[in-house]
A and B are shown apart, each in its own frame.
Chain A
Amino acid sequence: MTGRLIPHAVLVLAILLFALPIWIAVAGSTQDSAVIARGEISLIPRLSGLGVYRDVLLHGSAGAGPVWHALMVSAGMALAIAFGKIALSLPSAYAVTFFRFPFRMTAFWLIFLTLMLPVEVRLIPTFQVMSSLDLINSFTGLTIPLIASATATLLFRQTFLTLPDELVEAARMDGAGPLRFLRDIVIPVSGANIAALFVILFVYGWNQYLWPLLVATDPKYDTVVIGIVKMIGVDTATEWNKVMATAVLALIPPVAVVFLMQHWFVKGLTEGDK
């Protein structure tokens, strides 16, 4: 029995460590802003304060627009990034894994190199490119630079490499051309990996801060993450309960995505192939 006690204690501790801040946000969102500012947050939510959610969703707060709009922008951006990256990296990984063409490895290493250059590193040149393409303050400008990256290509390549050669050959004998093989065999077989990657990319896109801050100055393109920051005013008194409510709302979609795709997610990360 004692053998189980210690692992459980560690687990409980870890759960508390992660859950407590979230709980504080949930409880805090229902309390009075002034109370929170004094650092006197009660851990018991006040049911009468739940109206704040309706409030931020529909009206936002001083300095930031309604949260429902920011949530839509965030969702749009995260989905575009997740789908865009998958759509881009699936064929490129397919090409470098299954085809022999001149400079194949050069292409692969060039893609690999972009791993070292995330948007944060190439912020200024990327901004210049977007600016000269007149894509500042547009949804395209918000998403495209975040779509172009190597992570997904590399992950897909690793997945594809685990497909046995004989499977490729069996499909060739069956008469499947490259596109058919991709559609009928490769994509279904890597389904779990694609789903896992989708979850990771969605969360990645959802949490973007620096690039949206820079490229979209129009409040129309404020994501929920930006919205939270804008709520924390410097000059005006910050409505902390609204900040916390927005933070809780911002948390829900990524959690929902992870939760909904949990089955696939775990499968994709743990199962090598098949």
Chain B
Amino acid sequence: MAGLRLEGLHKSFGAIEILKGVDLALADGEMLVIVGASGCGKSTLLRLVAGLETPTAGRILIDGRDVTGLDPSARDIAMVFQNYALYPHMSVFDNMAYGLKIRGLPRAAIRAKVDEASALLGLEALLERKPRQLSGGQRQRVAMGRAIVRDPKLFLFDEPLSNLDAKLRVQMRGEIRRLQRRLKVTSLYVTHDQVEAMTLGDRLLVMHQGVPVQLATPTEVFEYPADTYVAGFIGSPAMNLLPGVLGRNGTAVTVAGTEIALAPSRFAAPDGHAVILGIRPEHVVLDPSGMSWPVEIVELLGSEMLVHARRGGEASLTIKIVHGPAMSDVIRVSFPSEHVHLFDQATGLRLTPAGSGVPPS
């Protein structure tokens, strides 16, 4: 059994190429999250899979069957839309039952399926209501219910939580995860929210301007970002990216005039190579004998604090520390070399041997 395969998918609107070749394979029952900034083509990709748009080139296979030319209804896919897209004049029950009615299921079977799905989602008491009488979270559940009752081969989610408030989003995120695990339906989930991506996905596909830049598990993406785009996109606050020059046989980087020693033999590039040193704010440590950075702003986040420092104009650094000492004008820090990432300054690609990480596809 195979889930979903995308082969060389391209999509252009007029002269503008939105998707520039996407290859992807989802295992049966897998939840893959596509994450990327707004406008990078995530929705377009999802709509191609759904059959709502036709690809300019490439193939879409579901369970090994080529569905590229098929109508959405013939693909056996259910989709949860960002604005829920519930039928405003139908009750919750009818919203969920509509797809089944069209399929010509007998009344009793429809009733049974809707009852089952609404029990799963805690919607039993709301079946007679109209969408406008529901809260955002309840509408979201109905939209999921409508997808579930169909028992489809594939779930598609297009930023389904972005219209909810922060608290509800966290709750629904958990529910979606639990449901997906339980139903084991292969799912493609699109979001621009990296926290959502990290918590929901079995694997992540990071997209940037219509190109997939990294496909890996959330942990791998976080620990071994494939390039500076992924490094800056995944993780909050964002990873520090400092331009520098490699030296001493690859065991040191000079950043803003100061040499930073690295563990030997981790970075394979010639000395003098222009690089970008990446380190996450939480990995920077205070060190009285370390590099000195003039402090610009200090932000308190409850138990933690963020220190923003700047050196020599262009090099800026954010540090996350748990319980800071009295802040002086200058902090001294060091970068533990096991947490240092190096990227090629010209290409932005990762220089570090990727460890268990998957190289960019």
Residues of A in contact with B (beta carbons under 8 Å apart): 164, 166-167, 169-176, 180, 184-185, 188-189, 191, 273-274
Partner of A164, one of B72, B85, B98: B85
Write the chain A residue with the least CB distance to B152. Answer: A173
User: When the two chains form their complex, are residues B81 and A174 in contact, meaning their CB atoms are under 8 A apart?
Assistant: no
Cβ A173 vs Cβ B73 within 8 A: yes
In the complex, chain B residues whose CB is within 8 Å of the CB of A169: 47, 50, 52, 72, 79, 81, 85
Give the contacts of B81-119 with A (CB-CB under 8 A).
81-89, 98-99, 102-103
Question: Complex formed: what's the CA distance from A174 to B149 in Å?
Answer: 11
Q: A172-B52, A172-B71 are in contact. List 6 more A-B contacts (CB 8 A).
A: A166-B84, A169-B52, A173-B72, A173-B79, A176-B73, A188-B89
| Chief secondary structure at chain A's binding surface | helix
**With A and B bound together, what is the CA distance between A189 and B73 in angstroms?**
22
Complex contacts, A174 vs chain B, CB 8 Å: 73, 98-99, 102, 146, 150
**Which of A166, A173, A188 is the one whose CB lies under 8 Å from B82?**
A166
**Are B79 and A170 interface neighbours, CB within 8 A?**
yes
In the complex, A201 Cα to B99 Cα: how many Å? 35
Is B65's beta carbon under 8 Å from chain A?
no
How distant is B106 from chain A, measured CB to nearest CB, in Å? 16
Residues of B in contact with A, size category: 20 to 34
Residues from chain A with Cβ under 8 Å of B73 in the complex: 172-176
CB distance from A264 to the nearest CB of B (A): 13
Q: Which residues of chain B have C-beta atoms less than 8 A from A164's C-beta?
A: 83, 85
Q: A residues within 8 A CB of B87?
A: 167, 170-171, 184-185, 189
B361–chain A nearest beta-carbon distance, Å: 29
Most buried by B among A166, A167, A173, A176: A173
30 A–B contacts from the bound complex (CB under 8 Å): A164-B85, A166-B81, A166-B82, A166-B83, A166-B84, A166-B85, A167-B87, A169-B50, A169-B85, A170-B85, A170-B87, A171-B87, A172-B71, A172-B73, A173-B73, A173-B77, A173-B79, A173-B99, A174-B73, A174-B146, A175-B73, A175-B102, A176-B98, A176-B102, A180-B102, A184-B98, A185-B87, A189-B89, A273-B88, A274-B88
Query: A166, A188, A189: which has the most chain B beta carbons within 10 Å?
Result: A166
- CB-nearest residue of chain B relative to A187? B89
Chain A residue with Cβ nearest B75: A173
Q: A175 to B73: give the CA distance in the assembly, Å.
A: 4
Q: At the interface, yes or no: B248 with Cβ under 8 Å from chain A? A: no
B246 at the interface (CB under 8 A from A): no
> Complex Cα distance A191/B85, Å?
18
List the B residue with the shortest CB-CB distance to A191.
Answer: B89
Contact with A along B36-53 (1 / 0, CB 8 A): 000000000001001110
A1 to B72, CA, bound (A): 62
Digitize B51-88: 1 where CB-to-A-CB distance is under 8 Å, 0 elsewhere.
11000000000000000000111000111011111111
- Closest residue on chain A to residue B79 by CB atoms: A173
| A273, B146: Cα distance in complex, Å | 22
| Cβ-closest chain B residue relative to A163 | B88
The 5 closest A-B pairs by CB, nearest first: A175-B73, A174-B99, A166-B85, A170-B85, A175-B102
Which B residues touch A170, using CB under 8 A? 79, 81, 85-87, 146
- Tell me, in angstroms, the Cα distance from A173 to B79 when the chains sit together: 7
Question: With the chains together, A170 CA to B150 CA distance in Å?
Answer: 13
B74: nearest residue on chain A (CB-CB)?
A: A175
Question: In the complex, A184 Cα to B95 Cα: how many Å?
Answer: 11
Chain B 141-154 near chain A by CB (<8 Å), digits 1 or 0: 00000100010000
- A170 (CB) vs chain B CBs: closest residue: B85
What is the minimal beta-carbon distance from A99 to any residue of chain B, in angstroms? 15
A46–B51 Cα gap in the complex (Å)? Answer: 73
A4 to B287, CA, bound (A): 73
Complex interface: chain B residues within 8 A of A175 (CB): 72-73, 99, 102-103
Contacts of B339 in A (CB 8 A): none
Closest CB-CB distance, B142 to chain A, in whole Å?
A: 12
Q: Is B129 an interface residue (CB 8 A)?
A: no
Smallest beta-carbon distance B298→chain A, Å:
44
State in angstroms the CA–CA spacing of A262 and B102 once bound together: 34
Chain B residue at smallest Cβ distance from A184: B98
A124 and B78 CA atoms in complex are apart in Å by 57
Residue of A with least CB distance to B80: A170
**Chain A nearest Cβ from B115, distance in angstroms:** 19
